Amino acid sequence: MFFHDCFVRGCDASVLLNTTTNSTAEKDAGPNRTLQGFDVVEQAKAAVEAVCPGIVSCADVLAMASRDSVSFQINRSAWKVQTGRRDGLVSRASETAGNIPGPNANFTSLLQNFQSKSLTLKDLVVLSGAHTIGVRHCSIINRRLYNFTGKGDTDPALNATYAAVLKSQCPPGDAVATVGMDPGSSVSFDNQYYQALKQGKGFFQSSKIVGKLLLGSSDFLTEFGQSMKKMGAIEALTGAAGEIRRTCAVVNS
């Protein structure tokens, strides 16, 4: 969710805003419809507001929640979060286009997308490691499994055994079922994701190229934290810009 927030209008918690009668919000755009955890962020914000009202922004709560979700997995603080962000006032679904890369984006377009946010090739590769945990809907990979070139074929870059497993979990046309993005390790935050890519077990089409660039590193967690801090600074609102929302789903009245 933090990535989806930062890549549209910067890290301003605009992805948390609800749709209004005047505007469809980012969270209701196609690339964001599968995002979950909005209620968890809202609960965290409410707990903070009860202690120090009007001080901690939703943007900072989201940044810290992202860090803590990793810290919980590794039983220690993953990285230090720089705070001081303020919350944006605008959220438009139309702005996700061109900012949130699609699941079938090729490596060139992914790199251009990251570079437009002042992130590097290394950041792209390292942040792709976030896919080591979590699930995605089968609709994302259905084309690669059943109709890769429009002839009812399977993407040859997929490991045959892995493709068979995915087909058993993702029937043709199923848009509801989910599957782990890191086979065998989708509930653990580790560098196993890169080893899976090496074996042709990448969920996304661009994964096969990412896997050739970085297969794993003993410093993965350190590098991941550094790239997350860089991403967390994208177009952050500070000073008098924006506001400190009282609740994350709506702007202050």
Which residues have a catalytic role annotated? 4
Q: Give per-residue burial for 56-72: e unless 16+ CB within 10 Å, then b.
A: bbbbbbbbbbbbebbbe
User: Is 153 annotated as contributing to ligand binding?
Assistant: no
User: Is 8 annotated as contributing to ligand binding?
Assistant: yes
User: Is 223 annotated as contributing to ligand binding?
Assistant: no
User: Is 26 annotated as contributing to ligand binding?
Assistant: yes
Chain centroid offset of residue 7 CA: 10
User: Is 156 annotated as contributing to ligand binding?
Assistant: no
- Cβ–Cβ under 8 Å, residues 198 and 215: yes
User: Is 188 annotated as contributing to ligand binding?
Assistant: no
Q: Give per-residue burial for 157-190: e unless 16+ CB within 10 Å, then b.
A: ebbeebbeebbeebeeeeeeebbbbbbebbeebb
User: Is 101 annotated as contributing to ligand binding?
Assistant: yes
Beta-carbon-side half-sphere exposure of residue 154 (alpha carbons within 13 Å): 16
User: Is 137 annotated as contributing to ligand binding?
Assistant: no
Please give the annotated binding residues for Ca(2+), written as ranges. 5, 8, 10, 12, 14, 26, 132, 182, 190
Q: Which residues are annotated as a binding site?
A: 5, 8, 10, 12, 14, 26, 101, 131-132, 182, 190
Residues at the binding site for heme b are 131
Residues flagged as binding site for substrate: 101
